[in-house]
Amino acid sequence: MSTGRFILSVVVAFVIYSVFYMGLMAFLFLDVYLSNAHMFRPEAEGMALYGMLGHLVQTIIVVALFNMAVASNCIKTGAKFGLLMGGYLAATDFTMYMGLKMSLSPLPYSIVIHLAVGMIVGVVLAKLYVPSGEAAPADA
């Protein structure tokens, strides 16, 4: 995969993750997630930018893993990869929720969101993937 195609994949995946996670967790299901508001950092601390940077690193890793381990433009294979990545994130949330004194009410939502968004990202990464040696439709 070309560097340009890799960067495009990172940007597209980052936007998908951001839109879905923000839209679902910070807007649609905000009341559920506010059950743990006492644990949130105050906005004045300015840590949100670091959180976004961490999210960008995660996205780069997801795209790199897709290209190293999957390397396919098959939508079904992309969906399976996305479900695995979503499952990994859901298991991480599960571990965190069980280890901290947090309300468990957001956990089922988080699990479903991670799986669904992961699957969407996996499908999109498959659609964006161009096997080595082939020209991308836009590059032709």
**What's the pLDDT score for residue 140?**
42
* 138 contacts 7 by C-beta, under 8 angstroms: no
In whole angstroms, what is the distance from residue 116 CA to residue 78 CA? 13
pTM to 2 decimal places = 0.87
Contact (Cβ atoms closer than 8 angstroms) between residue 102 and residue 36: yes
pLDDT averaged over every residue in the chain: 91
Positions in the chain whose pLDDT score sits under 50: 139-140
